[in-house]
A = this chain, B = another copy of it.
Amino acid sequence: MAERVGRERVLRATVRTLAEKGFARTTARAIAGTGGFAPGVIYYHFEDMDDVFVAAMRHTSRARMRRYAAEVDDATTATDLLARLRRLYDEDTAEGHIAAVQELVSAANAAPRLAAEVRAETAVWQEFTERVIDRQIGGTVFAALVPVPELARAAVAAYLGMQMLAHLDADHSGVHQLFDAAATPAAMLDAFKNDDE
């Protein structure tokens, strides 16, 4: 019976439970309740709850990364990229990814294995952001102003911080205003790159 419920279904239920109930109330019983399976299913796939949280962190991070990579690879201009990032941010919120990650990041302070996983996923996002920024400003004068790795680190940190604050507020209008405000520099960057060609 247990083996019919897949590992991924357990992880999806874990992410949803984290987002809805917070870390402290994300017990095996609560996850099973969310997913509609017996608690035993969880221990069929995972050693212990620590193991579940580490896998959930990786699962939600990688699933979002696939979406981000697909969207960002298709972006033609900085303006187009910005529109895509805005939609991705809204997806992050709607799917409970933001809320779940925030719970896991907080919990990681008291859970060394989870902390290592959060660090590893953060590094993956920083590398991804580096490539995205590099594709936009590489070879332009802007790349000489601030090193791309540091810019990527700041961007990932800002994204995490904004999500934290927006989640606390249950108000994402501030983040949307920031996307609006970025339209002018994005358009300028596009104009600058066209002039250059």
Q: A residues touching B (Cβ–Cβ < 8 Å)?
A: 22, 24, 102-103, 105-106, 108-110, 115, 118-119, 122, 145-147, 150-151, 153-154, 156-162, 164-165, 167-169, 174, 177-178, 180-182, 184-185, 188
- Select A174's contact among B147, B153, B160, beta carbons within 8 Å: B153
Q: Are A164 and B167 in contact (CB under 8 A)?
A: no
Least CB distance from A75 to B in Å reads 20
Q: Are A165 and B154 in contact (CB under 8 A)?
A: no
Closest to A167 in B: B109
Assembled-state Cα–Cα distance A106/B45 (Å): 29
8 additional A-B pairs beyond A109-B167, A119-B169, A146-B184, beta carbons within 8 Å, are A22-B109, A105-B168, A145-B184, A147-B181, A150-B177, A150-B180, A161-B162, A161-B164
Q: Is the interface of A mostly helix, strand, loop or mixed?
A: helix
Least CB distance from A192 to B in Å reads 12
Assembled-state Cα–Cα distance A190/B165 (Å): 32
Assembled-state Cα–Cα distance A184/B153 (Å): 17
Q: Are A150 and B109 in contact (CB under 8 A)?
A: no
Q: Are B162 and A157 in contact (CB under 8 A)?
A: yes
